[in-house]
Structure 1
Amino acid sequence: MSDYIWFEGIPFPTIGFKRETIEEVRNNFLIREEDTVILTYPKSGTNWLIEIVCLIQTNGDNKWVQSVPIWDRSPWVETKVGYEALINKEGPRLITSHLPIHLFPKSVFSSKPKMIYLIRNPRDALLSSYFFFRETNLVKDPGSLGTYIKWFLKGNVLYGSWFEHIRGWLSIRELDNFLLLSYEDLKRDPRRTIEKICDFLGKKLEPDELDLVLKHSSFQAMKENNMSNFSLVTEDTVTNGLKLMRKGTTGDWKNHFTVAQAEAFEKVYQEKMAGFPPGLFPWE
């Protein structure tokens, strides 16, 4: 791939995205109070969270998640196809977005949708992005992990800077219609985290229904579900076969970063994340 669509200094893929759509979404897309919005930086557990929320909505019944592609169940609002699907959809909508807060629909601040923001150790998000996107035509090929780390730290990757994304969305973390979750907590204690999501959404599940949500949103279940593992993506976006589900672990970055790369990342991380309260991020 030779280039991106650049919008206000942030790169987006040329496939499936248009500058006009991103502008239209920000200024004119109406978020409704009954909507549920899933917000993440890329490769932070987005599809896992979508699957969980879909299963919560169906009381653990997996018919929906096994019959409808994940991008149709919860469309990405900033994509051309997702935007068109959402503006024509009636009733409560499940909406997904990787947009930073300043590009997200302005209407979100005059309504009170349920917003769930899932964060992940940026080192793991970086590594996951590196392995995932190089199998697609969506990004420039960095050639090496070292180059990709430099791009990531400068924000020259899809959807821009992880640090700015986090700072922007966490500026509204005290709102009662905003739920902050972490990939690490979801891995460590999925049952408790799913219960927290249920409480936030006002959805009461029986113990056996909760068991079904856990079962059908497991890494193995999603890996085997063609509606959730992106195996249905068309060839024009894929080069070597898209593998959405790689490892689904935490801390894998330690197996790939050199000491020098880890130190360089930590230096920028400490500078960019100064001012956040201790204990906010589970990877620290």
Structure 2
Amino acid sequence: MSAFPHQIVDVDSATNRELLHLFHGERTGFVQVGRSRWLLPSKYRRMAGDFYNFRVRPDDTWVVTFPRSGTTLTQEMVWLLGNNLDYKTASEVRLNSRFPFIETRAVHGRFPMLIHDEVLKDLQDLNQDSSRRARVEQMSRPLTEELDQATSGRFIKTHLPLDVLPPDLLTAGCKVVYVARNPLDVVVSGYHHNRRFELVGYKGDFPKYWNCFKKDLVMFSPYWAHVTEAWGKRHSPNMLFLFYEDIVKDMRAAIRRVADFLGTQVTEEQVAALAAHLHIDTFRKNPAIEPNSQRLVGLVNQDAQDFVRKGKTGGWTEEFTPEIVVEAENWMKENLSKTDLRFPL
């Protein structure tokens, strides 16, 4: 096992108090990792080496994104293209079982990184009937054991930046699909999503969430380092870098690109059928894409919006005040000046 190469430090006490007040799903505090100062929950300190030393296989397929960048849509597309367009299994087996999210599952006997031990205990207490209890126990079951037992190609989702993932991820022969989305849409989607889930439990308003986002104080931040690190590796033969805006603008073209990257042959009829399956009006109603855990009592706010919201681009304009628009324009201009990455219009 290789030594984890990055320094992990606690967030300063004042900032930590502020974050714990806003994000009720974390009960202990937050850490910052490496030169980029990735913001992660305190439990990451114990699990950093497990993620970094995760054994990658040549037939793995990974989807890597900053949260709320079109991850779920991309997972479904990638899984179907990688599994002979098996819509029957896709309708019967939930996406998070077909394409597990490693941060929300136990690793090497440790409880999930994104689920604080106290929150997990609360879920266990609230979900005493057998079916719900089984779902809580599934989150506590080591994902590494499950994936080690998989005999065919594995499909894995993560929001962790490439910097802290296995160093051979892009050289071991597996396929990595990275999706980036305009950060102004990301922040609005993240605000609603993190109010929805008690695992994060955001209790503030949108202006406060925006302030945390631009200061790199939401989970998996900094946003710009996350995206530009992947952008710099986009020419790797084992990485496909996609923009969410391009996917929704021309779904059929995106399907062809992903199919070509995965080495999958598809007819135009199959492309059309998959595009229809992934259309937001259909996709939003698909029960197989919502995590099993959403049925648990105490995990999702009762007044929260759907797991898949609007799925459109440019929706940030509905949430930003005129003052935040000015801040955002300056923030975008400053950060884009440091990179040749440009988001599609």
Question: Is TM > 0.5 for Structure 1 vs Structure 2?
Answer: yes
Distance in 1 separating the partners of 2:48 and 2:277 = 33
Over residues 160-206 of structure 1, what are the superposed CA-to-partner deviations in whole Å (9 max), with x where a residue is unaligned?
21111112211211112111111111111000111011111110012
What is the deviation of 1:101? 1.5
Identify if the C-alpha distance between structure 1 residues 215 and 22 changes in structure 2 by more than 3 Å, giving closer, same or farther: farther
Name the amino acid aligned to 1:25. Answer: F
- Pick one of 312, 315, 332 that aligns with 1:252: 315
Match for residue 281 of structure 1?
343
- Pick one of 267, 271, 280 that aligns with 2:334: 271
**What is the number of residues matched between the two proteins?**
279
Distance in 1 separating the partners of 2:319 and 2:69 = 18
Distance in 2 separating the partners of 1:111 and 1:134 = 38
Identify if the C-alpha distance between structure 1 residues 113 and 144 changes in structure 2 by more than 3 Å, giving closer, same or farther: same
Distance in 1 separating the partners of 2:271 and 2:83 = 11
Aligned sequence identity (%): 28
Identify if the C-alpha distance between structure 1 residues 19 and 74 changes in structure 2 by more than 3 Å, giving closer, same or farther: farther
Question: What does 1:68-87 align with in structure 2 at a 5 Å threshold?
Answer: 68-81=93-106, 82-87=143-148
Query: Given that residues 25 and 83 in structure 1 are in contact (C-alpha distance below 8 angstroms), is that contact kept between their aligned partners in structure 2?
Result: no
> Does residue 51 of structure 1 match 2:76?
yes
- Pick one of 58, 61, 65 that aligns with 1:40: 65
Match for residue 191 of structure 1?
252
Identify if the C-alpha distance between structure 1 residues 156 and 58 changes in structure 2 by more than 3 Å, giving closer, same or farther: same
Query: Given that residues 96 and 292 in structure 2 are in contact (C-alpha distance below 8 angstroms), is that contact kept between their aligned partners in structure 1?
Result: no
Match for residue 20 of structure 1?
46
Name the amino acid aligned to 2:267. Answer: E
> Secondary structure, in 3 states, of the residue corresponding to 2:208?
helix
Over residues 73-117 of structure 1, what are the superposed CA-to-partner deviations in whole Å (9 max), with x where a residue is unaligned?
111233334444323322211111111121112231441311111
Name the amino acid aligned to 1:124. Answer: D
Larger Rg computed on CA atoms:
2
What is the deviation of 1:242? 6.1
Match for residue 272 of structure 2?
211
Question: What does 1:79-158 align with in structure 2 at a 5 Å threshold?
Answer: 79-81=104-106, 82-158=143-219
Question: Which region of structure 1 is more displaced relative to structure 2, 61-70 or 240-249?
Answer: 240-249
What is the deviation of 1:19? 4.0
> Secondary structure, in 3 states, of the residue corresponding to 1:63?
helix
Question: Which region of structure 1 is more displaced relative to structure 2, 54-63 or 200-209?
Answer: 54-63
What is the deviation of 1:142? 4.7
Identify if the C-alpha distance between structure 1 residues 121 and 80 changes in structure 2 by more than 3 Å, giving closer, same or farther: same
Distance in 2 separating the partners of 1:89 and 1:99 = 22
Query: Given that residues 82 and 262 in structure 2 are in contact (C-alpha distance below 8 angstroms), is that contact kept between their aligned partners in structure 1?
Result: no
Identify if the C-alpha distance between structure 1 residues 235 and 105 changes in structure 2 by more than 3 Å, giving closer, same or farther: farther
Q: CA RMSD in A?
A: 2.2
> Structure 2 unaligned runs (5+)?
1-23, 107-142
Question: Which region of structure 1 is more displaced relative to structure 2, 85-94 or 39-48?
Answer: 85-94
Query: Given that residues 231 and 242 in structure 1 are in contact (C-alpha distance below 8 angstroms), is that contact kept between their aligned partners in structure 2?
Result: no
What is the deviation of 1:251? 0.4
Name the amino acid aligned to 1:239. Answer: N
Match for residue 135 of structure 2?
none
Match for residue 92 of structure 2?
67
Distance in 2 separating the partners of 1:138 and 1:78 = 12
Per the normalisation by structure 2, the TM-score is: 0.75
Name the amino acid aligned to 1:112. Answer: G
Distance in 1 separating the partners of 2:30 and 2:287 = 29
Identify if the C-alpha distance between structure 1 residues 89 and 119 changes in structure 2 by more than 3 Å, giving closer, same or farther: same
Distance in 2 separating the partners of 1:102 and 1:172 = 11
Distance in 2 separating the partners of 1:201 and 1:56 = 8
Distance in 2 separating the partners of 1:75 and 1:55 = 15
Identify if the C-alpha distance between structure 1 residues 223 and 198 changes in structure 2 by more than 3 Å, giving closer, same or farther: same
Distance in 2 separating the partners of 1:65 and 1:220 = 17
Match for residue 130 of structure 2?
none
Question: Which region of structure 1 is more displaced relative to structure 2, 49-58 or 181-190?
Answer: 49-58
> Secondary structure, in 3 states, of the residue corresponding to 2:89?
coil
Distance in 1 separating the partners of 2:150 and 2:298 = 27
Query: Given that residues 37 and 116 in structure 1 are in contact (C-alpha distance below 8 angstroms), is that contact kept between their aligned partners in structure 2?
Result: yes
